[in-house]
Amino acid sequence: MKQLLLLLASILLLILGSCKEPCEDINCNAGDCIEGICNCDDGYDGTNCENEIRAKYYGTWTGPNMCDSTIGIDFDSITLTISESEVSINDLTMEVSVQGDFDVPLPPENATLFGNAFETGPSMVDIGFAVITFSSDGIFKSPDDMSLDFVITADEPLPITLNCTADLVKQ
């Protein structure tokens, strides 16, 4: 009887001793392990939360620009440079330059990501003969292809509003 109890105790100890915590060997980087699966923090994805979602959009984007100009000013192309924002993990810093009859480089502005979409608040820039306001929103169709809609307005010397769209490709 004593040997049987010793055998059962040994088997029980072996079974209990071999069970390990499901998250014991899992590193979730920017996330928490729950029952052996990583639950990623906002702004991260991947099996082990190893990918910063916004990083795939960093770089220079270019493409033709289409504006509904009725005042004879043409902006035929756009260059957009996207980099890391220090505001939050869901934000990007965007620097836009619109080229055409004259170039309009805009100051860096913050864009907030919503899944694969983003929007910027209005920013103002003095281009010498006018102060213009620029705001935009867009959708990343893939990590290398985006659609951008933006509005350029000015009050002086003549009030203008340009509604523009651009399909941009990452360079």
Tens-place pLDDT, residues 61-110: 999 988 876 667 777 888 999 999 988 888 999 988 888 887 777 778 88
| Chain CA centroid to CA 123, Å | 19
Asked if residue 10 has pLDDT above 70, the reply is no
Contact between 135 and 151 (Cβ < 8 Å):
yes
- pLDDT computed for residue 140 by the predictor: 95
Phi, psi of 73 (to 5 degrees): -100, 125
Task: Give the predicted TM-score (pTM) of the model.
Answer: 0.75
Contacts of residue 10, Cβ cutoff 8 Å, sequence gap at least 6 = none
Catalogue all structural domains in the chain, each as residue range(s) with its CATH number: 17-49 (no CATH), 54-170 (2.40.128)
Our measurement of the distance from residue 27's CA atom to the centroid of its chain's CA atoms, rounded to an integer in Å, reads 24
Q: Each residue of 121-169: pLDDT tens digit?
A: 888 888 777 788 888 899 999 989 999 998 888 887 778 888 888 999 9
